[in-house]
Amino acid sequence: MRKICVVLTTRGNFAKMKTAMRAIVAHPKLELQLVVGGALLNRQAAIAQEIEREGFTVTETLDYMLASETPAAITQSAARCLQGAGEMLGRLQPDVLMVIADRYEALALAQAALCNNIRITHLEGGEVSGSIDERIRHAITKLSHYHLAASQKAADRLLRLGEKPESILVVGSPSFDLLRDSGSDGYRKLHKRLADQPAADPEKAFLLVSHHPVVTEYDEAQSQYGVLAESVLQIGLPAIWIWPNNDAGAGTVGDALDWLRAQPSCPPLAVVPALPIEEYGAALNRTSCLVGNSSSAVREAAFLGTPAVNVGTRQHARERGANVIDVPCEVGPIVAAVKKQMARGKYELDLRYGDGAAGTKIAAFLADYWPPLDKTITY
């Protein structure tokens, strides 16, 4: 029995791994070790509760986050994650550690596995984007033994980075598995969640706002959220605003939201700390436009044909479909692009990031392939 340790630290992690974890549990040759930590132990605790309601058993928790979200605090959180992960892996002794995407704690987890002689599986390597995510992602690639690429272009980059062809599998974005199956149930849950915020009505036209601070632009985070708030005010459409990830500068969104709510002409506004992927998918499918810098603009929104306006540099050079309009973080361009997208309406579905069947592919790959522990550059 091969033990697969999956560490979930954000709401997005669970969205990406839910169907893969189900497939791991169901596979006769695999055993799931589930660790929950990071933001899921505080601000996004509702998602952690959702994990247990889905029937998953949490093996351990990993508490490493400091309350502050300054660069210095994030550095300390990364150090605490490395130490805690090293101790956790020593206890669990998994055969494989799953590392997800490109956040700072993902790199700490990969380093802990490296020092414990544990093979590493990396989801979403080989992609191009902005901020520190770009460097973290490629650093994890060089430490990893299994590469689960979301697109063929990402897989091609992994080959050019010197990774062995047999270690790379194009699986798509696992969150699509849930979007494909959520349907009316996700919408029902979303409607119930927003019932105590009568300003938000998912049955009528609304904006969906999801914007994260750019770590390399930390000093500009407050002003950028101010621009986004002013844009929402000028557009005038009811909005569902999702609180950002716990990156440096995230706390400044509160000032922008307070300012927006204080304006006499503030449109109906609902602010939610996090949404389970089925509910997020329902909101994304029904919104007139997604606004911000979330990667879901180029992934999930493209899969659903949802119009999106990508703001700023966070998704720089990431592969995207026709549903995205890129704009600088300035009020005029944002407002104009959103109005253009609202007039345009739905796009054709884009399958460049998968077709909604990633979970079973991931489990089968983990069960069938066993790479050597040591890696040698192949070019």
Q: Is 252 helix (H, G, I), strand (E, B) or coil?
A: helix
Nearby residues of 366 by Cβ (< 8 Å), 6 or more positions away: 2, 4, 24, 30, 96, 121, 146
Distance of CA 181 to the CA centre of its chain: 19
- The reply to whether 221 falls in a domain is yes
- CA-to-CA dists, residue 138 to 123, 203, 265, 308, angstroms: 12, 41, 45, 27
Is residue 349 in a domain?
A: no
Q: Tell whether 226 and 117 lie within a shared domain.
A: no
Instruction: Say whether both 198 and 160 belong to one domain.
Output: no
Answer yes or no: do 131 and 34 share one domain: yes
Res 42: pLDDT: 86
Collapsing DSSP to helix, strand or coil, 312 comes out as: coil
Can you give the pLDDT at residue 184?
75
Whether 189 and 306 share a structural domain: yes
Domain hosting 6: range is 2-172+356-368
CA separation for the pair 142, 53 (Å, rounded): 36
Query: Which residue do the tokens 């606004």 mark?
Result: 291
Residue 171: predicted pLDDT: 96
Which helix (DSSP H) or strand (DSSP E) does residue 172 occupy? none
Q: Kindly report whether the global pTM for this prediction surpasses the value 0.85.
A: no
Tokens describing residue 319: 């592969």
Interatomic CA distance for residues 335 and 85, integer angstroms: 44
CA distances from 341 to 97, 111, 302, 348 (A): 41, 42, 13, 14
- Do 111 and 205 reside in the same domain of the chain? no
Query: Are both 64 and 149 inside the same structural domain?
Result: yes
CATH number at residue 81: 3.40.50.2000
pLDDT given for residue 181 in this prediction: 62
Unique residue bearing structure tokens 């922008």: 256
Let me know: does 321 contact 302? Beta carbons within 8 Å.
yes
- Confidence at residue 373, expressed as pLDDT on a 0 to 100 scale: 97
Rounded CA separation 188/115 (Å): 46
Among residues 16, 58, 68, the alpha carbon closest in space to that of 37 is found at 58
pLDDT at 9: 96
**Segments of the chain with pLDDT less than 50:** none
Task: State CA 21 to chain mean position distance.
Answer: 16
Residues 22, 91 within the same domain: yes
Answer yes or no: do 114 and 250 share one domain.
no
83 and 40 in a common domain: yes
The verdict on 84 and 136 lying in the same domain is yes
Q: Is residue 97 part of a domain?
A: yes
CA dihedral 239, 243, 249, 255 (to 10 degrees): 50
Half-sphere exposure of 73 (CA within 13 A, CB side): 13
Rounded to the nearest 10 degrees, how much is the dihedral formed by the CA atoms of 15, 18, 19, 24? 150
Please, which residues have CB within 8 angstroms of residue 198's CB and are 6 or more apart in sequence?
A: none
139 within domain boundaries: yes
Give the pLDDT confidence score for residue 192 in this predicted structure.
Answer: 87
Token pair in block for residue 30: 């695999």
- The number of domains in the chain is 2
- Model pLDDT, residue 247: 82
CA 166 – CA 338 distance, rounded (Å): 43
The predicted pLDDT at position 17 comes to 94
- Is residue 251 located within the same domain as residue 166? no
Residues 98 and 39 in one domain: yes
